[in-house]
Structure 1
Amino acid sequence: MHITAVHTIGVGSTGAPISDASRQNILRLLRTEEGVYDRAHARTLSVLSAWTYSDEGTFAAVMSRRRLEGCDYVEISTRNDALFFDTSAVLVQSPGRKLTILSFRGTQPQNAINWLTGVSARAEYFPAGGKVHGGFQRGLRSTWPVLQELLLAALNARPICDALAHSREKYLSPCGAAKPEAPVSMVPAPITDAIPEEKELLPSLYITGHSLGGALAVLAAALLYAQADAGVFGRDRRQVRSWIRGVYTYGQPMVGDAAFASMNGDLGKKLFRHVYRRDIVPRLPPRIMGDFMHFGQQYDSSEASWMPGTRPARQAISLGLSNLVGVLSWFTQDVVPLQWVRLPFSWGDHSPLNYMRTSLEAAPGEEFD
């Protein structure tokens, strides 16, 4: 397990003040009621989910430009090729510790087909009911022990960087070193007054991800709901559930079966799935791998950013045919004489760049500003 901590995005050693744009963005995220879709949040979270693929320095620089100055963030990742998982997650915490954003990295393009259609797609039982994609569940569970500690710290307005230090000592102490007796986060550092208005607001959690990251975001939210019901967080279940203000996913594949979708009806009210044009991934895994289905609210790309979907993405039938059509469509999109060919699925439409550009309503190149 690889554990990284990076402090105060966009502030650094100079202690420069947080911009008014960042302050307003953070407060808007905190003031939004649970289950309310917000285009500004879709922009922020699409950028965050896309840049979760990058290295830590690049991520911090982009988040500073995208109105998350002054936030702390930590990154954890786990990988085991034999067990079919390679999971990376980033947790962002606002200066006043009331806002938390959890973003999961998606799968790299060269591995997407194997992840979504290979042996790892075999369904497994989800602890609270229903069946889910086995590879997705193993990927989430591999990081959950540390993520759960960090989320517990965030829920209690404790610094995630301190909680991370405790986790690092617990899991990565040198041979013979004494184990920590109590979490470092039990004695929190003073809360900064960078955004004084945060003190009066309730804690808020947003979960996001692109591709595989979107699937992990849905599973993480479902697991938080299940653990809230089981009293794992030591809080009233309604308090923990209301902490999750929204789950924003981009190009997310199907996660579970009908029973899993039905069990998570309440979660579906705050799950916002974004689908760009003919992206093939929201139609996967194919039916030959088992019966999967979406839940939540779908938003489709349009000339005016995102619009409520009228035709929910349905599961593809054939494994080989779907992949063949998706690859051919990707090819025809880049060859001018063949761009008139309109195939039903496309791997080319799955790029996080498409989702970020649509969310930002940006001209080509502006999404990097």
Structure 2
Amino acid sequence: MTQNPPTAIDVPSPDGHDVRVIRYLPDTGGLWAVDTEAPSYRQLRPFNHPDGEQNIQALATGDMGAAYDDMGDGYGQTDGFPVYKDLSTRLTDIVEHPDPVAAHTMAVCSGYAYSGAETVSMIMARMGLEKNHCRLVSATVDAMFICSRAFLVQSADGKVVILCYRGTEPTNLANGLTDLDVEPERINYQFEDPCASVHAGFYRNVRATRHEVMEALGRAVAGRSVRKPWNGEPERMPGKLEALYITGHSLGGAMAAMMAAMLHNEKKYEAVADLLKGVYTFGQPMIGDPSFARACEDNKEFSRKIVRYIHGDDVIPHFPPVTAGPFMHFGREYRYRISHLRESVSGWLRYMGSSYQRQTGEWRETDVYTSQMSSFLGFALGASTFAARKSQILRALPVVYSLEDHLPAHYIGTLTPRGVSDEFGD
């Protein structure tokens, strides 16, 4: 496939800082990529400097070059910014999963994957991956219900890559139909049971961008950038890929689990699979039938790397329903629970004007996996509670399924360790 010549542009991020962007638009249409480079800490925090007044004046005139040159290495870092110092090293050195730093980082990346490459790159810089390289690979085929978005975020030292899939967009009909496409499609992997099958929509969406994603990961393994180099810029990174993380929320979580399974079951991807550190998903639906799930579960080295988080009564992990055929989860499951009795008392006290604070829950691993809902009516029930739980008095009432609990902000908030600043580092 031929590509148009790349063009570099500076795009202002939501907080006013420039993010370098390059777009490759394929001639054939349908598949495209956006490449970005995140700002430095000095660019993100230009006012946090002894010469702050001078910097404000430079920023007003648009001439920050000299001001940046006067700032030494490490400038811009404070107690809360970036969120994690030496994040690349921390993600590389993790031995046991789940890890609180990795869980928080992946939740943030998955939540902001609903935006563009510029925002994802900027937010991950704030988390601790300064000047990261980011590539967004996108494929859309409405007639086939394909809407695949894969972000690759590479640390500046080249040692860490986060592969993050975007989840279900509420305003995107193709995404919704992907979730409803539940006729099992036979998977062509050599599992113990040759009849193992997976969710057809999730499978198609991963396949739509897989080759471009693997090409980028192959470059990282060889010590090169996941994105195409700028004009005159060296393609080599300081180091080669040592730690790969795959993550996503909702549909993105399903695609992350599917991609991880592909890596571990195709020999041609062995060089990349050996570097897989962990797979963190949030509000992920089931992706395969019991035969597929058991085959993944039997591979202990693989299944221990799969960590699924389910917040409260999130409805999506119960999907697909029993009426669509048998499906089953695999990997390690963690649930965030709050006692309904404690939450009810808290809710009524708040409603009556008390300053009593809302009770918080905790994440706990469970040996009993989340099961399928009985029918699609369960999803409708979960959607109906969304508006109801906006009410102070109704929020405390127990529910079976909740679409409100599926929101990525809840996963980010509950997975942020105590004493750690939010993703903006403020």
Same fold (TM over 0.5): yes
Which piece of structure 1 moves more, 334-343 or 242-251?
334-343
Secondary structure at the counterpart of residue 109 of structure 1: coil
Larger radius of gyration: 2
Aligned to 2:121: 60
CA distance in 1, matches of 2:133, 2:423: 23
Matched, 1:251 2:312: no
Which residues in structure 2 correspond to 1:1-369 (within 5 Å)? Answer: 1-10=31-40, 17=73, 23-33=85-95, 36-111=97-172, 114-115=176-177, 118=180, 120-128=181-189, 129=191, 130-162=196-228, 189-192=235-238, 203-227=242-266, 229=267, 232-233=268-269, 237=270, 240-265=272-297, 266=299, 267-302=302-337, 303=360, 305-319=362-376, 321-361=377-417, 366=422, 369=426
The alpha carbon displacement at 1:66 in A equals 1.1
Contact 1:10-1:61 at 8 Å conserved across structures: no
The alpha carbon displacement at 1:56 in A equals 2.7
CA distance in 2, matches of 1:9, 1:72: 10
CA offsets per residue over residues 140-198 of structure 1, 9 Å max, x none?
111012111111112222221238x8xxxxxxxxxxxxxxxxxx9xx963434xxxxxx
CA distance in 2, matches of 1:288, 1:117: 14
Distance change >3 Å, CA 66–CA 86, structure 1 → 2: same
Amino acid at match of 1:246: G
The alpha carbon displacement at 1:36 in A equals 2.5
Contact 1:203-1:243 at 8 Å conserved across structures: yes
CA distance in 2, matches of 1:74, 1:240: 17
Amino acid at match of 2:149: S
The alpha carbon displacement at 1:253 in A equals 0.4
Amino acid at match of 2:284: Q
CA distance in 2, matches of 1:4, 1:273: 29
Q: Number of paired residues?
A: 331
Secondary structure at the counterpart of residue 111 of structure 2: helix
Secondary structure at the counterpart of residue 387 of structure 2: helix
| TM-score normalised by L of structure 2 | 0.71
Amino acid at match of 1:219: M
Contact 1:325-1:343 at 8 Å conserved across structures: no
Secondary structure at the counterpart of residue 295 of structure 1: coil
CA distance in 2, matches of 1:273, 1:49: 13
Aligned to 1:169: none
CA distance in 1, matches of 2:399, 2:236: 57
Secondary structure at the counterpart of residue 338 of structure 1: coil
Distance change >3 Å, CA 305–CA 51, structure 1 → 2: farther
The alpha carbon displacement at 1:357 in A equals 0.7
Aligned to 1:175: none
Contact 1:305-1:359 at 8 Å conserved across structures: no
**Structure 1 vs Structure 2: percent identity of aligned residues?**
31
Amino acid at match of 1:71: N
Distance change >3 Å, CA 366–CA 29, structure 1 → 2: closer
By relative contact order (CA 8 Å, sep 6+), the higher-ranking structure is 1
Contact 2:197-2:289 at 8 Å conserved across structures: yes
Secondary structure at the counterpart of residue 108 of structure 2: helix
RMSD: 2.9
Contact 1:9-1:70 at 8 Å conserved across structures: yes
The alpha carbon displacement at 1:240 in A equals 4.1
The alpha carbon displacement at 1:93 in A equals 1.1
Distance change >3 Å, CA 305–CA 93, structure 1 → 2: farther
- Structure with higher helix content: 1
CA distance in 2, matches of 1:339, 1:161: 45
Amino acid at match of 1:108: E
The alpha carbon displacement at 1:106 in A equals 0.3
Contact 1:330-1:348 at 8 Å conserved across structures: yes
Secondary structure at the counterpart of residue 227 of structure 2: helix
Distance change >3 Å, CA 2–CA 331, structure 1 → 2: same
CA distance in 1, matches of 2:405, 2:87: 29
